[in-house]
Every structure is written in structure tokens, then in C-alpha cells.
Chains A and B, each alone.
Chain A
Amino acid sequence: MSTHVSTPPGVTGEPVELRDDTARNRFTVGRTAKYAAMILFVLIVLIPVYVLFVTSFKGAGDASPSRAWNLPTDWTLDNWRGAWNALSPAIWRTFQMVIPAAIISAMLGSMNGFVLSRWSFRGADVVFTLILFGMFIPYQAVMIPLLELMLGAGIPSGVPSLIILHVIYGIPITTLIFRNYYQTVPHELVEAGRVDGAGMLRTYWSIILPISVPSFVVVLIWQFTNAWNDFLFAVFFSSSQNGPVTLALNNLANGALLQDYGVSMAGALLASLPPLLVYILLGKYFVGGLMSGSVKG
């Protein structure tokens, strides 16, 4: 086995000087089995994607259940047109909601993360834990008074309400991500600032912020995806006239008495496109956000 470990990448398939034939065969069989399993799982994971794509291009002629898994007989774009007409206003509203929400909560998270990790004070850990708890609460436990509070404050339902909610309830996770990141910043860097007599705000502004770009990317992506995919706040704080795309998609898919799967599946793909693009283009940062969800980072 140690031979395998030290083999440079790219030549693992070659029969290197392995005298122990059984070991090599076992290794080869094991590797083949592993790949077979991994490919099988890829196919299983992609089943819903296949269904979405195929169904979204199907016309009325493919309605029979016996053709459920077949490719379309006549490829049509009607479903996509229908979905675009139904969802495009909501998609624009979602952008208007998600972008400011992501930016503001990233700023707040960065300030908190800095203070809690590198300009700490007694009791900072307790404060951090109290902030963190906000990430885990079921929002159902605040929803009724939240509705009354927002109504009482006269904040219009739809985009304005949702921006505020995503900012506030995004604070715990953004604080966590920034704190974990700043903890990897050497103490000396901050201390050097202190010795030079720089105050906290100057240290934050001129030392910490410039090196924060990677975690800003992680946090912005995380908040963007989270707010884009949110349905709970959307249901309680917006309507089909002013709500985001998840609400519009749900109405499209579950509204009519007879379901038009072609249109709703095209809609599901449309609604997923922005977060999927982010995942494909910036996957590394996306995973970075996921990891910090595990508290210890």
C-alpha cells in the first residue's frame, strides 16, 4: 500500500514495481469497484436534473405517463416562454432583494468578526455564543410578533421587508465566517497597529479590511444563495405581487388545479440558474461558506 501512496499522480494506473501481485489486483479491483460506485451515484444524483431538462422541453404530445422518461418527441420552447413570463418580474425583484441584503450583512459580519476575534474584550465569547444562537433558532418561534413588529413599523411587505430580515437573521452566520477567518490573521499584524498608536477603527479599516477579500467573497456568495433560495420569510412577508422567485415558482407549480409540469420544471430551472451559476463559477468559495457552517470552521 505504501507504494501506492508514494506513486506520483498520473501514473497510478501503470503497473509500478509491485512484486506482490495479489495486492495489486486487489487494488485494481477495488479501484474499479470504487469508480463503478461513484459513477452510479453520479447517475442517481443527476436523475432529477434529467427529468427537469427533458420535461421542460416537452409539448402536449408527450403527456402520456408511458412517455414519462423518454426524450421529447417534438422539442418545444413554449414551456420556457411560459415560465419566463410567469417568473421574470419575480426574478428581478429577487435580485433587488438579494444584492443589498448580502452586502449589508457582510459589512456587519466583518465588523463583528473583527471585534470578536482580534480586538476582544472580557465576555466576548459569551456575546459570540449568544449571537450564534440566532443562527439555529426556528424562525417560527419569532414569526407572529415579527409580523406585528414589521406591520407596526410600517415597513412595506415584499422587497424592503425581506432585505431587512435577511440582513438581521444573516448576522450570526456572517459573523461566524468572518470571525473564523480573522482568527487565522496573525496577532502581530494587529499588535503592530496598536503599537503604532492606531485606534481600533483605523486598524480595522487599514489593516483588516484589505485582507478580508476572500471571506467577503465567501460571505457574499453564502448570503446571496441563502436569500435567493429562501421560502419561509417569502411566504410570511410577501405576496405573489411583490414576492421573490421562490414564492412565484411555488405559485406556478402548485397554483393551478391541473399541474403543467412542463412549465413548472422550466420555471424551476430558471429560478435555480443564478445560484447554480454562482456554484459553478465560484465553487471554491461556495464550499468555504459551507465549511464555516460547522461552527469550528
Chain B
Amino acid sequence: MRHRLRRLGAPLLLLAPSLILLGVFVYGLIAANFNTSITDNHTAAQATGQEPVTTVWFQNYIDLLGSDDFQHSLTNLVLFTVVFLVGTMVMGFGWAWMLDRPDRGEGFFRSIYLFPMAVSFVASGVVWRWLLNSNQGESASGLNRLFQMIGLDFLQNNWWNNITFGITAIALPAIWQLSGYVMALFLAGFRGIPEELREAARVDGASEWKVYRLVLFPQLSPIALSALIIIGHMSLKSFDLIMSISKPANYQTKVPAVDMYVFKSSFNYADAAAVGTILLVIVALVVVPYLVRTHQAEKR
């Protein structure tokens, strides 16, 4: 018994600082946040404790989810995520596919495609705000001007100022920034497939397409899933890029993460907390099954 305790005691000693910190700062605060979200803590006086707060249960959630304003944020979030995911997966896979076989200059291409990942969203937001300028015709700058110069005038548009699809314009810089990451994931996947496997399929007379469909795609699907989860959860949390390209008060491009900031700035803590919890639920729906699956796969 003492032996067992000692065996368990030492590992827990090393883990203890992290477990306590994460216990409080992740799980404890998630609970505290939920607690705030079911109150009527909507004013600065309540936020600073000068006026009492009462519990209203799920009223804030009902009001939020029922409001056109927040529904617009959720629609934006879905649109943004779809475009972001499709864009990064297509570009990332395409680049990895082209760089699959080591060839001259491969390292150069890889480094260029990946470099935007090292830059902050705020810094890239500065230049993309300029590129996505909505002016057209004479006063056009940015991409609209470039389209004019190369004779593709019809591509000019008002980018993120479009009320319904404006958010998808902000997915462009996000794709620019993270396609290289997806490429790196897929490249690692390609490299992990033994050459003999492909050769064997070819010797058996399989066409190049069949080699992909029957040998490569099945091997790559766990990587594709990882990439989807990682990009997907990043997309659901998107905040920096939107804040730096359009301003937080911009209706066209707002998403829940931005709403949360706006609520907090006006000391509407209850609604800010409710938005936070809604975001957490959305992310958890995506991530938890994935974590559980990975956990089970490792056990085997």
C-alpha cells in the first residue's frame, strides 16, 4: 500500500502544478463563466459589484439565440468556417501533392508556402485591409486595382462590405495564412506512406488514379481529419483577423468572438459570458469526439 502510494505520489508531484492551474483556469473558470451567464449582470454597476445580481437561468441564451443580431453572427461564423476549411484543405492538399516527390527547389517552395503562418493575424490584417479595399473604378486600390491592371475588371467587388457574404472575404487572408500549415500536415502524411506500397499497386496494374484512391487517400484520411479539426476550431475562435481588418463594430463581419468583446466592453458581463459558453459548446461538439477517438486509438 505504501509502495503504491509512493509510486503514484511522485508522478502526481510533478503533475500537480499544471493540474491545479488547469483545473482552476480551464475547468473552474468555465463553470464560473456559466454562472455569470445565467444572471442579469448586464450593467457596469453590477459588473463592479455595486448593484445586486439575480439569477435568470437561461433567459440570456434564449434572448441571444432569438435575436437577429446574434443569428447574423452565427451565420457569419458558419460561412467563414466553410470557406476557410474548403480553401485551406484544397490549397494545402494541392501544394502537398505537387511537392510530394522530392524535386529541385522543393524546400524553397515549402518555405514560401508556409511562411505566412509565422506572422500574426494583426500584422497580416494591416496589409489585407488594404488589399480588400472596397473602392472600385477610378479610386480603386488593393486587389480591385490589381484586377483592373490585369484585365479582370469583372472580379472587382466590395469585399467585406457585402452585408451577406462580406465575412467570406475575410476568409481569404485566413486561407493565405494557414494553407501552408495544412500542406505541412499532408506532406508528412505523404512521406509516411512507404514507396513500396505505391509501387506494389502500380505493378498490379492499378492506374495512377486508382493508386490514389485505394492506397494514398485511405492512408491520408487521419491527417485530413486532424487538419479539419485544427483549422475548424481555429476558425470558430477567429477574432484577431476580423478585429484588425474590419472594426469590432462592423455588422457585416461580426462573429460570436467579436460580439463577446463588444459585450464585455460595455460591461454586459452576462451576455459576454453567454456568448463564451455558446462558443465553447460549438467547439466542444467538434473537438471532444475527436479527442475521445484519438484517446481510444492510442489505447489499442
Chain A interface (Cβ < 8 Å from any Cβ of B): 1-2, 5, 9, 12, 31, 34, 37-38, 41-42, 45-48, 51-52, 55, 65-66, 68-69, 108, 111-112, 114-116, 119-121, 124-134, 136-147, 149, 168-169, 171-172, 175, 199-201, 204, 225, 228-232, 235-236, 246, 249-250, 253-254, 261, 264-265, 267-269, 271-272, 275-276, 278-279, 283, 286-287, 290-291, 293-296
Contact = CB atoms under 8 A, between A and B. Distances in A.
A65 B148 CA distance: 12
Interface string B121-139: 1111111111100010011
A138 B18 contact: no
B294 A119 contact: no
Q: Which of A52, A265, A269, A294 has the most CB of B within 10 A?
A: A294
B114 A296 contact: no
A255 to B, nearest CB: 11
B15 A115 contact: yes
Contact of A121 (B11, B115, B240): B11
Nearest to B109: A38
A79 to B, nearest CB: 12
Nearest to A229: B120
Contacts of A287: 114, 184
Which of B29, B126, B128, B275 has the most chain A CB atoms closer than 10 A to its own CB? Answer: B126
Given A143-B260, A294-B227, A171 B22 contact: yes
B226 A295 contact: yes
A295 B185 CA distance: 11
A249 B273 contact: no
Contact of A65 (B129, B139, B237, B239): B139
A271 B122 contact: yes
Interface stretch (B57-65, B68-76, B162-170, B276-284): B276-284
B276 A142 contact: yes
Contacts of B233: 136
Given A112-B15, A138-B237, A140-B256, A12 B103 contact: yes
Interface string B281-292: 001000110111
Nearest to A33: B98
25 contacts: A2-B202, A5-B195, A45-B113, A55-B130, A65-B135, A65-B140, A69-B146, A121-B12, A136-B233, A137-B280, A138-B237, A138-B279, A140-B256, A140-B280, A142-B33, A143-B272, A145-B32, A145-B273, A235-B261, A236-B264, A268-B126, A275-B118, A276-B115, A283-B111, A296-B226
A69 B111 CA distance: 25
Contact of A275 (B119, B125, B240): B119
B283 A137 contact: yes
5 closest A-B pairs by beta carbon, nearest first, are: A229-B120, A141-B280, A145-B32, A142-B29, A279-B118
